[in-house]
């Protein structure tokens, strides 16, 4: 009752519930989806349609994050990185969290189905199921390859954005998703390396715990090479030009340098730096692709 009567407590509780949507991750999801929207057209799509699709995708993604937090509340409580989540501290009730997630998911689905198209709505719902159920319940607690298999859901945003503008799936959209898919293991395993004590307390079979540090850093290096190869595909398909190529080569070179250093002489500080760089890497790579798409003529 005190919570419903005290405005300060209501605001604090609302802020705690908002954090369950994982705002930073949500921002990256929406960014990648909008990139897919913008790259799908030779000219700028209508902004109202972009905004509507972005809001719909964001609502469903927020719901998936909340369900993830709810299902992992006991695991989160044992990890320093996630112990402050409202679900982990017991400040967000199970019914309350589930109801809010259902409302967000339902609202996002209705918005996408009614204002965008059925394909985008169904693909977004499939992404929700893979992340919130398949990854969280079946993969993460059972296999060190959880992020490789579950990375399918994380790679979907550009495909969702592309489908929202065109109503179809194209090879170009699949290449964008492939880039994110090959980026994901190196990104998350770098985090798992310097947070391995956290994952050990949680009892999760992350790669650094099941296969060791050296195997994990080698895996990061190999996936970074695979990522480098996948970033050349837009040029091979003729949808990107020399500015994108130069940007991709520079970004890939930096990522590979960090991956090699990480494997040769591991340090937690270097793993942390690699993780931070991976976020900037994806942001600048797609920004370069977008600039190239609208400002320059693709390579013939």
Instruction: Note the pLDDT of residue 5.
Output: 53
- Of the candidates 129, 131, 109, 105, the one whose C-alpha atom is nearest the C-alpha of residue 120 is 109
- Please name the residue ranges forming H helices in the chain: 2-5, 7-19, 23-39, 47-71, 73-77, 86-89, 94-111, 118-129, 146-154, 157-166, 171-194, 196-202, 207-210, 213-231, 233-236, 242-264, 268-295
The confidence score (pLDDT) of residue 299 equals 44
The fold of the 16-169 domain, in CATH, is: Tetracycline Repressor; domain 2 (1.10.357)
Task: Give me the residue spans of the domains in the chain.
Answer: 16-169, 171-300
d(CA 131, CA 123): 12
Residue by residue, pLDDT tens for the chain (300 residues) are: 345 557 777 788 888 889 999 999 999 999 999 999 999 998 899 999 999 999 999 999 999 999 999 999 999 999 988 999 999 998 888 999 999 999 999 999 999 999 999 999 999 999 999 999 899 999 999 999 999 998 999 999 999 999 999 999 999 999 999 999 999 999 999 999 999 999 999 999 999 999 999 999 999 999 999 999 999 999 888 888 889 999 999 999 999 999 999 999 999 999 999 999 999 999 999 999 999 988 754 444
Q: Please tell me the distance from the alpha carbon of residue 51 to that of residue 35, in angstroms, as a whole number.
A: 12
Handedness of CA 275, 87, 181, 168 (dihedral sign): negative
Token couple for 293: 């798409």
Our CA dihedral for 115, 118, 120, 125, rounded to 10 degrees, sits at: 110
């Amino acid at each position: 009752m005190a919570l419903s009567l005290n405005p300060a407590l209501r605001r604090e509780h609302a802020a705690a519930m908002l954090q369950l949507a994982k705002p930073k991750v949500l921002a990256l999801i929406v960014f990648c989806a909008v990139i897919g929207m913008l790259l799908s057209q030779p000219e700028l799509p209508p902004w109202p349609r972009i905004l509507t699709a972005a809001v719909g995708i964001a609502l469903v993604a927020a719901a998936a994050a909340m369900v993830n937090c709810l299902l992992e509340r006991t695991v989160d409580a044992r990890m320093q990185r996630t112990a402050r989540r409202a679900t982990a501290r017991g400040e967000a009730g199970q019914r309350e969290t589930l109801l809010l997630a259902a409302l967000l998911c339902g609202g996002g689905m209705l918005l996408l189905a009614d204002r965008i198209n059925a394909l985008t709505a169904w693909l977004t719902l499939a992404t929700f199921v893979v992340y919130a159920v398949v990854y969280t319940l079946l993969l993460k607690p059972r296999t060190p390859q959880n992020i490789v298999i579950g990375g399918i859901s994380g790679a979907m945003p550009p495909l969702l954005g592309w489908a929202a503008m065109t109503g179809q799936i194209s090879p170009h959209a699949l290449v964008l998703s492939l880039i994110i898919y090959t980026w994901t293991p190196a990104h998350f395993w770098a985090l798992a390396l310097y947070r391995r004590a956290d994952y050990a307390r949680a009892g999760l079979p992350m790669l650094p715990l099941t296969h060791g540090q050296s195997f994990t850093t080698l895996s990061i290096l190999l996936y970074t090479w695979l990522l480098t190869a996948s970033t050349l595909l837009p040029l091979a398909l003729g949808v990107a030009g020399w500015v994108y190529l130069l940007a991709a080569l520079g970004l890939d070179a930096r990522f590979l340098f960090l991956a090699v250093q990480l494997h040769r002489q591991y340090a937690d500080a270097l793993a942390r730096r690699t993780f931070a760089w991976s976020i900037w890497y994806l942001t600048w790579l797609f920004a370069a692709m977008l600039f190239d798409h609208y400002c320059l003529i693709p390579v013939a």
